[in-house]
């Protein structure tokens, strides 16, 4: 039986889990105190050993129960689901019986992974459905409306943080004056205009950053790790919809590989997500909400055996490097 607070729904439980796991870094004595209170509340006979081992990140499902309960009133709740999500997202790693008694410890906290999620504010994301990404980052998903040769066009963009500053990031071809673009207006999903300075254009890559001139409350995207083949990725942008109004469109896909676009002289991640007019400049996200890259174009060609088309994204390392030189 899995126990937890009385009258706490699944999402509130997930929020509590994220908050208390974060204490491992921000306030470890409090992290251990809460878990000990919960374990003693359950009458766990290994409480002292579990708490001592947890100082080094060695924990078990029983310890996790205690951490969430904290010694308060409880009822059956989906704690096992949260535990499985932590394991799937590599926040905890099974020891496979290699350390101590399996009744005392069974897993080790992946401290690098937990720190990555904690410092970027993305720990809660792993407990939520992928559909919640659009709501969580509504203030950071941007439309880029421009006037080009007298006609209105729309592209996508997003707020990106390199831990020292926050920038609007989009494709250079969305905002480059050399392409006949005479005005740029950036707005978030809630309709609030983001006041920006003149676009700062990458000299070689299809990348532009716009400095934010008026501060705003938002949850920007942070860089994730290297996207590997078959990793699940999500895109959120504003492509043109034939016969329909412009709106936020999401695609779930996977990383198909990496290549060098020799015509564009640019590194690229090949993804199965659809990239179409208007969606260039949108973030490519992993399941936890960390940024793996930015959609830039599709590559297509006709060959004897038939047509080929791939969606291309700029790796986030290039965005981080360029933004780092602007601070």
pLDDT in tens, 17-55: 999 999 999 999 999 999 999 999 989 999 999 999 999
Same domain, 165 and 203: yes
> Is the pLDDT reported for residue 250 higher than 90?
yes
pLDDT computed for residue 273 by the predictor? 95
Q: Encoding tokens for residue 82?
A: 């949260």
pLDDT at 76: 56
pLDDT score, position 216: 81
In which band, very low, low, confident or very high, does the pLDDT at 256 lie, cut at 50, 70 and 90?
very high
**Alpha helix (H) ranges present in 89-178?**
111-119, 132-136, 172-175
Of 150, 181, 211, the residue that ends a domain is 211
pLDDT interval class at 307 (50, 70, 90)? confident
Domain termination site, one of 211, 230, 256: 211
* pLDDT score recorded for residue 97: 67
Q: Among residues 84, 102, 127, which one ends one of the domains? A: 127
CATH of the domain at 168: 2.40.10.10
What pLDDT shows up at residue 73? 64
The arithmetic mean of pLDDT across residues 53-68, rounded, is 94
Look at residue 98 in the predicted model and tell me its pLDDT. Answer: 64
pLDDT at 1: 41
Mean pLDDT score across all residues of the chain: 90
Q: Is the dihedral of CA 158, 159, 161, 162 positive or negative?
A: positive
Query: What is the helix (H) or strand (E) element at residue 65, kind and residue range?
Result: helix 61-69
Instruction: Answer whether residue 305 shows pLDDT above 80.
Output: no
Residues 172 and 259 in one domain: no
Q: What pLDDT was estimated at residue 298?
A: 85
Give me the pLDDT at residue 33, please. Answer: 97
The rounded distance, in Å, linking the Cα atoms of 100 and 144 is 56
Residues 67 and 147 in one domain: no
Query: Per mean pLDDT, which of 5-9, 44-48, 290-294 is the most reliable?
Result: 290-294
Distance from C-alpha of 280 to C-alpha of 232, rounded to nearest angstrom: 19
- Give CA–CA dist 11/167, Å, rounded: 31
Residue 261's alpha-carbon distances to 44, 190, 266, 296, in angstroms, are 59, 35, 5, 11
Give the whole-angstrom CA distance, residue 261 versus residue 268: 7
Rounded to 5°, the CA angle 219-221-225 comes to 145
Is the confidence at residue 213, as pLDDT, over 80? yes
Structural domains counted in the chain? 3
Measuring CA to CA, how many Å separate 235 from each of 21, 251, 291?
28, 5, 10
Q: Tokens 């607070």 belong to which residue?
A: 5
- Asked if residue 101 is part of any domain, the answer here is yes
Q: pLDDT band at residue 11, thresholds of 50, 70 and 90?
A: confident
Q: Is residue 132 part of a domain?
A: no
**Tokens 């005005």 label which residue?**
183
Q: Pick the residue with more confidence: 58 or 305?
A: 58
Q: b/e map of 224-237 (b: 16 or more CB within 10 Å)?
A: beebeeebebbbbb
Closest CA to 183 of 192, 175, 195, 191: 175
Mean pLDDT of 301-322: 87
Q: Taking residues 110-126, what's their average pLDDT?
A: 95
Both 283 and 238 in a single domain?
A: yes
Same domain, 157 and 227: no
Question: Within this chain, do residues 185 and 297 fall inside the same structural domain, yes or no?
Answer: no
Q: Is 327 contained in some domain? A: no
**Token pair recorded at residue 238:** 């504003």
Antiparallel, parallel or unpaired: β 200-201 and 193-194: unpaired
* Residues above pLDDT 90, as percent of the chain: 69
Q: Which domain holds residue 119?
A: 3-127
pLDDT higher than threshold 90 for residue 105: no
User: Is residue 101 over pLDDT 70?
Assistant: no
Same domain, 15 and 123: yes
Q: How many residues does the chain have?
A: 327
Confidence of residue 149 (pLDDT cuts 50, 70, 90): confident
Query: Which tops the pLDDT comparison, 163 or 8?
Result: 163
Neighbours of 32 (CB within 10 A): 19
């Amino acid at each position: 039986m899995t126990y937890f607070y009385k009258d706490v729904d699944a999402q509130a439980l997930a929020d509590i889990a994220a908050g208390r796991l974060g204490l491992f870094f921000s306030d470890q004595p409090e992290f251990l105190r809460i878990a000990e209170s919960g374990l003693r509340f359950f009458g766990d006979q290994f409480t002292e050993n579990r708490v001592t081992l947890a100082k080094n990140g060695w924990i078990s499902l029983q310890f996790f129960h205690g951490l969430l309960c904290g010694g308060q009133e409880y009822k059956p709740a989906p704690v096992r689901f949260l535990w499985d999500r932590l394991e799937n997202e590599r926040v905890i790693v099974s020891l496979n019986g290699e350390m101590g008694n399996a009744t005392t410890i069974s897993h080790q906290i992946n401290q690098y992974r937990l720190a990555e999620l904690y410092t970027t504010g993305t720990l809660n994301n792993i407990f939520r459905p992928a559909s919640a990404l659009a709501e969580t980052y509504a203030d950071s998903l941007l439309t880029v409306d421009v006037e080009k040769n007298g006609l209105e066009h729309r592209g996508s963009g997003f707020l990106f943080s390199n831990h020292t500053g926050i920038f609007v990031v989009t494709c250079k071809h969305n905002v480059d004056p050399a392409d006949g673009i005479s005005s740029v207006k950036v707005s978030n999903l809630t309709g609030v205009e983001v006041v920006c300075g003149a676009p700062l254009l990458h000299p070689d890559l299809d990348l532009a950053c716009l400095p934010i001139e008026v501060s705003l409350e938002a949850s920007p995207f942070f860089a994730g790790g290297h996207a590997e083949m078959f990793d699940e990725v999500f895109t959120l942008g504003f492509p043109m919809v034939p016969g329909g109004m412009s709106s936020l469109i999401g695609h779930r896909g996977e990383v198909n590989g990496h290549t060098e676009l020799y015509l564009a002289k640019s590194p690229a991640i090949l993804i199965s997500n659809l990239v179409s007019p208007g969606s260039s400049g949108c973030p490519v996200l992993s399941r936890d909400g960390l940024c793996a890259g930015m959609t830039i174009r599709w590559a297509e060609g006709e060959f004897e055996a038939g047509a080929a088309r791939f969606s291309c994204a700029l790796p986030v390392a290039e965005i981080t490097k360029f933004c780092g030189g602007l601070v």
